[in-house]
Amino acid sequence: MSNIHQIHLQSKHQQTMLDAQRLEQACEWIARIDRELQEDEQVALQQWLAASPLNQQVLFEVAKLWDKMDALSRLSALFGAVEPQNAQNDSQTGRNNKRPLRALAMAASTAALLLFGGLIYRSEVLPMVNPSSSIASMQVTYQTRVGENTTIELPDSSKLVLNTNSFVVVRYSAAARVIELQRGEINIDVAHDTSRPLSVIAGGKIIQAVGTAFNVDLRKDHVELIVTDGKVLVGSNPGDEPPAEQLLSKRLPQSSLAISKGEWVDLDPKGKAREQVQQMDAVELAASLSWRSGNLIFRGENLEDALTEISRYTDIQFELADDAKLKEIHVAGMFKTGDVNGLLEIFRTNFNISHERLSRDKILLKFAG
């Protein structure tokens, strides 16, 4: 039985996906602005800005994040062209909207973006199936290789997306739905079923829902949980082994840690650190989940942290030379996962960073200035 399915936009995910698409489009426009727009691109940008006030807002946010000196003059006429649409609304409120648009032009004109062309890996899944007597009772193991992601439609119509180098065991029975994340990152859109809660087991934590959407990233020392729709409850696994089905068939108590739509939390497997639930805005959410479309979006991370994330999607290992100037570099922009050559070229042209191949799978980065 094939468990490989194309990614479908579910109704409860549509807004999140639109936010991600808008953010990626804004990144692309900042990159084009930085290298100067052609006439047809200026018209296209005017149309995109006029299509929604949110487009202008997100472009402004992106521009504020990525600061690099450039000329303002080339955008002054362009941003003036979108003012008439806003003037009609301003006439009703008595406000003048030219100032924020000019501020947007100024921020955009000084923005820099690392936009890497690249390779989006083809999704592939490696299932190992233990046949069962009915579709409601099953155990399947899925994994992805480094650089791959895949979408799986489960028997209850839940959608499970595996990120790079991930490994899960999926167990369904008449009483419980269980996904054990042993490695990597997953995003799941849970089909509503109050009689069978769905539990994700990750790093000693039980994350449970009956019909919602959330993202679980299992790291070395913590589990990052992001909720994109509804609410989930979090409890602790009482033992080293996966909990028994009898436990997982019951709902976690309402006194459990609750995380709702638009919130995230770092869960401590050892239970020692304080697990503080925090709000996540639309831009942060879209950036965190951009991997589902084969992209990585950085918002000012230092070079070392950015390389750590990029390394999850390639077998290449990066090393930084012992140079204080490298530690001062911060990365902001969109990267297509897997395009190492594009990454190295951008480092060379934008940051004066050279590289030396130490071996087939190891690269040393050095400041060339």
At 69-95, the pLDDT tens digits run: 243 334 544 554 444 344 344 444 444
123, part of any domain:
no
**Cα gap 233→258, rounded to integer Å:** 5
Domain of 338 in residue numbering reads as 294-367
Residues 60 and 142 in one domain: no
Helix axes 98-109, 14-34, angle to 10 degrees: 70
**At which of 282, 310, 344 does a domain end?**
282
What are phi and psi for residue 135, nearest 5 degrees? -70, -20
**Cα gap 336→91, rounded to integer Å:** 43
Of the candidates 87, 85, 16, the one whose C-alpha atom is nearest the C-alpha of residue 50 is: 85
pLDDT by residue, tens only, the chain of 369 residues: 333 333 333 444 455 566 667 777 877 777 677 667 778 888 888 888 888 878 877 777 766 655 432 433 345 445 544 443 443 444 444 444 434 434 444 444 333 333 333 223 333 444 444 433 344 578 899 999 999 999 999 989 999 999 999 999 999 988 889 999 999 999 999 999 988 999 999 988 999 998 899 999 999 889 999 999 999 999 987 665 666 566 677 888 989 999 999 999 999 987 778 899 999 988 888 889 999 988 888 888 899 999 999 999 999 999 999 998 898 888 877 888 888 888 888 888 878 889 999 999 999 999 886
250, part of any domain:
yes
Domain count, the chain: 3
165, part of any domain:
yes
Q: Please, what sign has the CA dihedral across residues 35, 39, 44, 47?
A: positive
The per-residue b/e assignment along 181-196, b for 16 or more CB within 10 angstroms, e otherwise, is: beebbbbbbbbeeeeb
Residues 57 and 34 in one domain: yes
Residues 278 and 310 in one domain: no
Residues 60 and 98 in one domain: yes
288, part of any domain:
no
Residues 111 and 134 in one domain: no
CA distances (Å), origin 314, targets 14, 18, 361: 29, 27, 9
pLDDT in tens, 272-309: 788 999 999 888 888 899 999 888 888 888 999 999 99
